[in-house]
Amino acid sequence: MRVGIYGKAFDDSFIPNIQVLFNTMKLFGWEVTVYEPFLAFLRPRISMDIDPNDFNKFVDIKDNIDILLSIGGDGTFLETIHIVRDSGIPILGINTGRLGFLASTSRDNIKSSLQDIKDGKYRLQTRSLLTLETEDNLFGEDNFALNELTVHKKETSSMITIHTYIGDLYLNSYWADGLIVATPTGSTAYSLSCGGPIIVPGATDFVITPIAPHNLNVRPVVVPDSRTIRLKIEGRGQNYLCSLDSRSVTIDSAIELVVRKTEFEINVIQTEGQNFLNTIRNKMMWGLDRRN
């Protein structure tokens, strides 16, 4: 098994757990490749009885690893999407802090999860993405997101107006602080905090969620992801903020944003006992009320 590792700096409390990770991979005889900045962070902190390779970008691992471990939180997991891109390499998210929707393997389950992978006791859950198309190609080759596209006011406290079309059909002009177009994965992120619905992974939908709308009768709308969503923005300011997951650029009102489903999907590893519904119950603390 050829394993890639992508991660971010963590506090000292996680050092014993990362040591368990490397000890287990050595025991299994796996070939390990680590993201170069993360490898530099690890070397003085843990004992490595293996000599890992390093990588910096997608082309370094495209045909050289079988799975990728994302070590951090959900934000770190989102960054791995631009490491694996359309390669189909499965990702396992290992959480260094609190339970995450994407990085759902806890520090206490690292060894058992690796054992499940070694024994083939896991499944791959596909996650759809969205692509942003603009005339000047705002985000270059990284114009896709696993969670959401967000447009938001920037230069003024006044609300902005987002004229929204599904295909060529006019939907609504949202007078709000901004607008979110989320995938099923992103439905449990920013969209959820703005009152959007939870969509189960595997559903073929987008959800359009306004951010602090002026009209309280405006509600989130679920749209088939086979449709194209077009956004045109206007307001008192000249510039607005456009974000794909955690990456943001400044745009002006002349730019039309076109959102469509990305042609490829991401494979997420789920070991035995892991599933989206269990994560939802734990993360949302459902069932703590005895009446439930």
Cite the active site residues.
74
Sign, Cα dihedral of 268, 271, 276, 279: negative
Nearest partner of 4 among 49, 55, 68, judged by Cα: 68
SS3 57: coil
150: which strand partners? Answer: 180, 243
- Number of C-beta neighbours around residue 118 at 10 A: 16
Q: How far apart are CA 148 and CA 146, in angstroms?
A: 6
Q: How far apart are the first and last CA of the chain?
A: 43
Contact 163, 122 (CB under 8 A): no
What are the structure tokens assigned to 115, written together?
């054992």
Q: How far apart are CA 155 and CA 234, in angstroms?
A: 12
Taking every pair of Cα atoms in the chain, the longest distance, rounded to a whole number of angstroms, is 61
Q: Could you give phi then psi for residue 209, rounded to 5 degrees?
A: -125, 120
